[in-house]
Structure formats: C-alpha cells, structure tokens
Amino acid sequence: MLSLIKFPRVFTINQVPKGFHEDSIISGYRHPRSSATDCILSLFQKTNETLNVWTHFLPTWYFLWKLVSVVVLQAAWQDSFTWPLVVFLISCCIYPLASSCAHTFSTMSMRARHICFFFDYGALSFYSLGSAIVYSAYIFPDKWVNSVFHRWYIPIAMANTIISTVLSCYSRLGFPFLQYSHDIIQRFHEHHNPKFSKFLRAVAFIYPYMFDNIPLFYRVFLCEGEGCTDNETTVLHYKHITLAFLTGFLFVAHLPERLAPGSFDFIGHSHQLFHVCAIFSTLLQIQSIEQDMVTRRAWLSANSIPITFGSSVGSGLLCVLMNLVLILLFSLPLLSASGCQEGKHGNEPKVSNKFCHCY
C-alpha cells in the first residue's frame, strides 16, 4: 500500500536554508516549505526526523493509559492525595506529544518551525512544574517536610517555568514582540549565533530540572541519619537520575554524529538517543513516585503540607495559561510579519516550485 504513495523528496544539508541545519546531520532533510500532508507522509519514509517523532509519539499513548488508569482506578476526583500525580501524568503526556508534533510540522516554514518549538519548550517547562508538584507531595525527605523551603518550593518552581519558557523561546528569535522592524527580527534569528542559542536552550532546560531535584538529590546523595527517608524506592531514584543526566549529556554533546558526520543521519543520532533516554527516565520517575506515594502516604497525610487544589491542579492550570500567553507573545510577530523572501538563500532545494523563507 505504501509503495503506491508518492513520498516527498528529501535533501542534503547544502540544499536547505541554514535555519534548518542540524549539527553533523548531512542528509535526510525535508523540504523547508512542506505542506502539512507532506509532513505527515514523511513519518513513513526515511528522513532524519522520522525516529525523532516516533520515539515520542508512541510513548505518549502509554503515558495517557497511565493517566486514565490513575484517574479511573484511584477515583482521583475524590482523593486530593492523588491530584499531584494526575498533574504530573498530564505533563508526561503533553511533553512527548508536543515534541512529536513539533518535529512533524517544523518544516512547513521557518515561521512554523519557530512556533512549533515554542510549544515544545512550553510543554517541557510544564513537565518541569509537574515534577515539582509531585515531588513536593511525595518525595521530600522527612526532615525537610513543612520547612520554609518546602513551603516556597512550588512558587519558585512556577517562576522557573516562566524563566524556562522565556529563555528557550528567546534562544530561537530574541524578543520579537519588542521589535518593530522585520530586519531586527532577522538579526535575532538563531542561525546568526547558534552556539549562544543552544547554550541558552540548555540552561533553560537544565536549570529547572536541577532546582526541582534539590530535595531528591539531598535525600539520596547527602542526607544521613534520622529523617532521610531511606526506603526501597531509592534504587529507582538512582536509575532515574542516571538516565536524566545521560539525557542532558546527549542534548549538549551531539554524540555520536559529531564523531562521524553523515553516518547517523537516519538512525542513532543524539536527538533520537536523547528522546529515548528521556522517555525511559520518565518511566522510572513515574515508578519511583508511585512507590513513594504508596509507601509514605500515611506519614505524609499526617505530617506534610495539606494538598490543595491550588498547590496541585490550580498551579498546573496557571502554568499552562502563562506559557500559552508567552508563546502567543513570541509567535504574534511571526504570524503578522509581512512578506517572504523569495529565493533569498542560494542553498535552497533545487525544486520546480520556488519557495520563500519566512521569518
């Protein structure tokens, strides 16, 4: 059946605009002015994005099943103790789905590429807050429960989500909503300073993770004696942390493709491995959280800060709203920018219909 379908043509790095280039990836690029249909068809052909999509799209359905099972089997609407877990599982569904959609439709235009990844970054910052909410409820070591840090932990995590979204979106395009000139918007474009852009993006992702995990790092690596909550969940936490650090390493190192450019264009490049490690890290994170939740429920219910709508579901909804506003602010200048630059780049694909490179 698939043999009867005419798949879109793929290109080499020298045939697409610089804004679409990936480090050490030489071939398998899709047309930078693809239609939505072409983007979807490309998921079933060999491109350098195909596995980036599937490694996040398929796990989304598993996380969705986990979410539904918690809501239905544990009657989450009646039990406030499960609300943080529900918020966290929702974030686990959203971030891989947003990522797979971003990788699917990012070649419709340069504007679409920016906007797609703005949503991807917003989803990641929401996942960070989901982690903080669930850690506050179930993970804090006994001796830190009800401390000043515990009480300020979620408000600080919410501020971090805003910082994360702003930094990651800024890393692509600066602050276009503060600019009035199309030329100025171009000057902030990522390809003019790619190393600084990627550094900002790495900081935007790593900083919230490090803050969210302060109670966990203290609990499993530093805490000694009474009140350290040393239980059977610790091994799962170690595994999750190990995979999380491997995920971060792959994101910044661009290995193995950096060692042999062109050899890992379709299978095995760092972004695919980054996706896989992120998913397995999240799976271990869910397991460790659920185990801590069950093991510590009686003690936490008696001693910890009461779980309220505001500290769980309400915080999550506010984070989503704020992120959508930020994405809108960054996207509006792209959507309203007038005109395209027809055939401006000399390294565009040599195809019959010329396309324009829009900011």
**287 is a domain residue:** yes
Q: What residues contact 278, with CB distance under 8 A and at least 6 apart?
A: 247
Domain extent, residue 326, equals 48-330
**157 is a domain residue:** yes
Interaxial angle between packed helices 110-138 and 83-105, expressed in degrees from 0 to 180 and rounded to the nearest 10: 160
Number of domains in the chain: 1
Using one digit for the tens of pLDDT, what is the confidence trace for 238-260?
999 999 999 999 999 999 999 99
**326 is a domain residue:** yes
Strand-pairing partners, residue 189, are none
The residue among 17, 57, 21 whose CA lies nearest residue 40 is: 57
Here the CATH number for the domain that contains residue 59 is 1.20.1070
Give the residue ranges of DSSP H helices in the chain: 36-41, 50-73, 83-105, 110-138, 148-173, 182-187, 194-212, 214-217, 234-253, 270-303, 315-336
**11 is a domain residue:** no
Using one digit for the tens of pLDDT, what is the confidence trace for 20-78?
999 999 999 999 999 999 999 999 999 999 999 999 999 999 999 999 999 988 888 88
Using one digit for the tens of pLDDT, what is the confidence trace for 77-125?
889 999 999 999 999 999 999 999 999 999 999 999 999 999 999 999 9
The residue among 280, 282, 250, 243 whose CA lies nearest residue 268 is: 250
pTM, to two decimals: 0.90
Q: What residues contact 120, with CB distance under 8 A and at least 6 apart?
A: 95, 98, 99, 101, 102
Other CB atoms within a 10 A radius of the CB of residue 134 amount to 27
CA distance 128 to 303: 25
**339 is a domain residue:** no
Give me the pLDDT at residue 354, please: 39
Please give the angle made by the CA atoms of 16, 22 and 25, to the nearest 5 degrees.
Answer: 90
Other CB atoms within a 10 A radius of the CB of residue 187 amount to 12
Using one digit for the tens of pLDDT, what is the confidence trace for 310-358?
999 999 999 999 999 999 999 998 887 644 443 444 445 554 333 344 4
**126 is a domain residue:** yes
**41 is a domain residue:** no
Amino acid at residue number 203: V
**16 is a domain residue:** no
| Beta strands at 341-342 and 356-357: parallel, antiparallel or unpaired | antiparallel
Query: How is 248-272 classified by DSSP, letter by letter?
Result: HHHHHH-TTTTTSTTTTSSSS-HHH
CA distance 56 to 260: 25
Contact between residue 33 and residue 109 where contact means Cβ atoms under 8 Å apart? yes
Amino acid at residue number 197: S
